[in-house]
Structures are given as C-alpha cells and as structure tokens.
Amino acid sequence: MSSKKKATAVKSDGKAALVPRLRFPEFRGAEGWKSVTLGEVSTQVTEIVGDRKLTPVSISAGIGFVPQAEKFGRDISGNQYQRYTLVRDGDFVFNKGNSLKFPQGCVYLLHGWGQVAAPSVFICFRLRDGYSNGFFQNCFEQNQHGRQLKRHITSGARSNGLLNISKETFFGVEIPTPTSAEQQKIAECLSSADELIAAQARKVDALKTHKKGLMQQLFPREGETQPRLRFPDFRECGEWELKAVGDVFEVTRGKVLAMTLVKEDASSDAPYPVYSSQTKSKGLAGYYSEYLYRDAITWTTDGANAGDVNFRSGPFYCTNVCGVLVNTRGYANACVAALLNGVTRSHVSYVGNPKLMNGVMEKIEIPFPSPQEQQRIAECLSSLDALITAESDKLEALKHHKRGLMQQLFPSPVNAAV
C-alpha cells in the first residue's frame, strides 16, 4: 500500500474527487471514488415472516443482532410477529434507535444466522451485485450514515425510542465508493484485522474465565470456611476465620474533589491516581497532587456500581463516592478485595439510588485466611490481573490500529461530506 500525497483530483463537475490517503498498489493510479446513494446500490427487503418459525431479533449498538428473548428476557413480538420482516444472511438492517455509539441509529449485516425475523420498524435492505457487503459494513461502522442523517433529525426519539428518520431520507444517504475490486480488497484487509481482534478478545475472555474459576477454587464456598484448593504450604493450616469487616479494618471513605483539579495524565505535579465510581479503567478518574491513603481497599458506595470492590496499591486519592478499608497489618490486599467483591453486591440497598454505606460494610462477615496465605493468594491473583491487563492492552492496540487503518483507507469525512 502507498500513503504518498497526491495532487487533489478534480471531477468534471468541478468538485474535488474523493481519494483516500492510502491505497493498495494496484489502485494507486485509479480514479477517485464516487458517491452513490443507498437507494442506488441496494434494494429494500420487505418480505414478511408470515407463518415461518424464525428467531425474533433486535439490534444492540456495538453488538449487532441479539435474540429478543436474550435482550428483553422474553419474546416481545407478540401479535406483530407475522408482520415482521424476513431477513437473510447478507442483508443489512438499520435500527433507528439512538445510542451513545450511534446517536443517529446503527446498521448491521446479518451473517451466520441463516434467516431471522426483524421488527417491521427496522429498515432492511440488500446490496445489488457489484457492491461488497464487507466494504459497506465498515462504512456503517464508521457512522458515515449518521453524519448525514443528523441534519434530518428534527426532534428526539419518539415514544417507542425510535428517531424520526424516513425511508426516503435513509436511502438518500451517500457513501463514497470505489470500484468493486477495490471495495473487495479493502473488505478483505479489514476482515483480517477483525479476525485478529476477535482472536485476541477470545484470549482475554479465556484468561478472565480462568481467573474466575481459580477464585472459585481458592475461596471457600458460601457458608464454608475452607477452600477446595490451597497452595502446598497451607494445606494443613485448617479453616479460615470468620470475621466482620469492621473488626479487621478502619472503615472510612474518600473526600469530595472537583474534577477540574484532576489531570488526565500522571506528572510530577499530579503523580497520585484518583479513583471514583466509574467502571472504565478500573475506576481511575485521573491524577492529583495529593493522596489520602496508601495500600487500601476501596468500594463504590453509591450508584449503579455500588458494591464494586478493588485493592489500591500505593498512595492514592479517592472521591466521596468511594468507601475505604484501611489496615496496616497486611490485610489490605488483592485477596481480601476479591473475597469481598464476591459478596458485597448482595448487601447493596436498591431502594432508590443503589447504596452500600459504611455501616453495612463494616458488618459484612467473610472468612479470612492467615496473612501469609492471603499474601500468597494475592500474588497469584495480581499476577493473573497483570497478564489480563497486558493482553487487554494488546486488544485495544489492535482496535486502535484498525481505526487508524480505516481513516487511511477511506476518504476523510470532511472531503466525503455531502
């Protein structure tokens, strides 16, 4: 592939031709891409399900097709089922529901399902011969449709959660498109990247599953005080001792901190991590110039993540939505944090805003091994966590590489705007 800068091509109508920054060698001298509407390159799929017995599906942004029974806990098609649209592998479906990832709705390609039943409110279509499913799926993944549809959305979602986007508006969306051969080459390249990403994701999931299974062996079952699996040095040490959290730890909490004072990256002026109630980055909100605690266990006291427990190594600051367990005799470690994390959510109050306050936390009882066995388990879990983090970083690097590749292989959104 080549990324050499080229003189801007000009079409016969005087507009700049759509040329990506990166092209495969056999297409470097080819003409610029042409914008085509979805109406020109596809046909609408309108065949109804009728009496066929198919899986009713929905679409979740970032995931794709999901059986209704899995997404909603039941089949919600009801009397509308027979009027659902029959969708086959190779068909696209546009869900007009807005989401954080796709505010103007998402489009997914059905693959590996055979035939399904899609709600009639979805817009279903099939590409004509000469147009690559894989190429167009990547166009939709970049939200090329959304950047154009947003100008047509005059109000928020309707009562059914769907945006007021007509079929005429949707099929008027323009997609910059190269020749069929270049479409296929791009699709194959990005498909290879997807396969690498999927393989790495499976590796991360396998490690997480392994850790979960190991913890089930290393920790006693509910109502028991001795694990099924112990390290050789501790096999004759007897049962773990049941204690209340408040008998082992000082139970306290973090302090209010204005997020405007928190820096995104660590520096000599702001070296200490700040933890909050968020789940991304394991609760890391940024960095601050001061710290409150060192080597302690935190848990989220309020909100959707109430009861989430983590061990925080080294000095750190935490906000007022975090409770803190302090112990200077070695009981604050990854082992005890994992033990607690397995039981705390059952103590969360879900009356109104979910809460797990200090008074409840200090009364929770868990079986404690000796400090020596705690440390051995903590080292094992920390080693696994480090491996999971390293492999997760590789996964994010692959995703970042694909995003960068797509930015090069497709004309920029500014030049492609219609």
- What pLDDT does 73 receive? 87
Q: Out of 42-51, 61-70, 192-201, 202-211, which region has the weakest mean confidence (pLDDT)?
A: 61-70
Q: Domain for residue 76, yes or no?
A: yes
What CATH number did the domain enclosing 204 receive? 1.10.287.1120
Between 414 and 66, the higher pLDDT residue: 66
Q: Domain for residue 14, yes or no?
A: no
Q: What angle do CA 226, 232, 238 make, to 5 degrees?
A: 30
Q: Where are the beta strands (DSSP E) in 319-417?
A: 322-326, 365-368
- What pLDDT does 293 receive? 97
User: What's the CA gap between 308 and 344, in Å, rounded?
Assistant: 7
Q: Domain for residue 228, yes or no?
A: no
Say whether both 67 and 156 belong to one domain. Answer: yes
Q: Out of 259-268, 365-374, 405-414, which region has the weakest mean confidence (pLDDT)?
A: 405-414
Say whether both 98 and 190 belong to one domain. Answer: no
Write down the H helix ranges in 89-226. Answer: 133-141, 144-149, 167-171, 180-218
What CATH number did the domain enclosing 337 receive? 3.90.220.20
Mean pLDDT on 317-322: 94
8 A C-beta contact, residue 356 and residue 344:
yes
Say whether both 318 and 207 belong to one domain. Answer: no
Nearest to 61, CA basis, from 30, 95, 32, 28: 95
**Strands across the sheet with 322-326, in order?**
250-253, 322-326, 293-300, 309-318, 272-275, 284-288
8 A C-beta contact, residue 306 and residue 333:
no
**CA separation, residue 324 to residues 83, 293, 304, 312, 368 (Å):** 55, 9, 18, 10, 18
Helix (H) or strand (E) holding 417: none
Structure tokens at 267: 């520096």
- Global pTM reads 0.82
Q: Domain for residue 1, yes or no?
A: no
Helix (H) or strand (E) holding 115: strand 115-118
Q: Domain for residue 17, yes or no?
A: no
Half-sphere exposure (Cβ direction) of 345: Cα atoms closer than 13 Å: 8
User: What's the CA gap between 299 and 321, in Å, rounded?
Assistant: 8
In 3-state terms, what secondary structure has residue 214?
A: helix
Say whether both 209 and 135 belong to one domain. Answer: no
Say whether both 379 and 315 belong to one domain. Answer: no
User: What's the CA gap between 384 and 334, in Å, rounded?
Assistant: 11
Say whether both 57 and 196 belong to one domain. Answer: no
Structure tokens at 68: 């209704």
User: What's the CA gap between 409 and 418, in Å, rounded?
Assistant: 19
Say whether both 353 and 380 belong to one domain. Answer: no
| Range(s) of the domain holding residue 256 | 241-368
Q: Give the pLDDT band of residue 2 (cuts 50, 70, 90).
A: low
Say whether both 301 and 354 belong to one domain. Answer: yes
Digit-coded pLDDT (tens) for 100-157: 899 999 999 999 999 999 999 999 999 999 999 999 999 999 999 999 999 888 765 5
- What pLDDT does 8 receive? 47
Residue 380 has pLDDT above 70, yes or no: yes
Say whether both 197 and 86 belong to one domain. Answer: no
Say whether both 392 and 273 belong to one domain. Answer: no
Q: Domain for residue 225, yes or no?
A: no
Total number of domains constituting the chain: 3
Per DSSP, the chain holds a count of helices (H) and strands (E) of: 11, 18
User: What's the CA gap between 208 and 220, in Å, rounded?
Assistant: 19
User: What's the CA gap between 157 and 137, in Å, rounded?
Assistant: 24
Q: Domain for residue 67, yes or no?
A: yes
Structure tokens at 54: 């198919």
Q: What angle do CA 192, 194, 199 make, to 5 degrees?
A: 100
Percent of the chain scored above 70 by pLDDT? 93
Say whether both 148 and 112 belong to one domain. Answer: yes
8 A C-beta contact, residue 85 and residue 122:
yes
User: What's the CA gap between 40 and 189, in Å, rounded?
Assistant: 25
Q: Domain for residue 19, yes or no?
A: no
Half-sphere exposure (Cβ direction) of 294: Cα atoms closer than 13 Å: 5
- What pLDDT does 68 receive? 92
Between 278 and 50, the higher pLDDT residue: 50
Say whether both 76 and 139 belong to one domain. Answer: yes
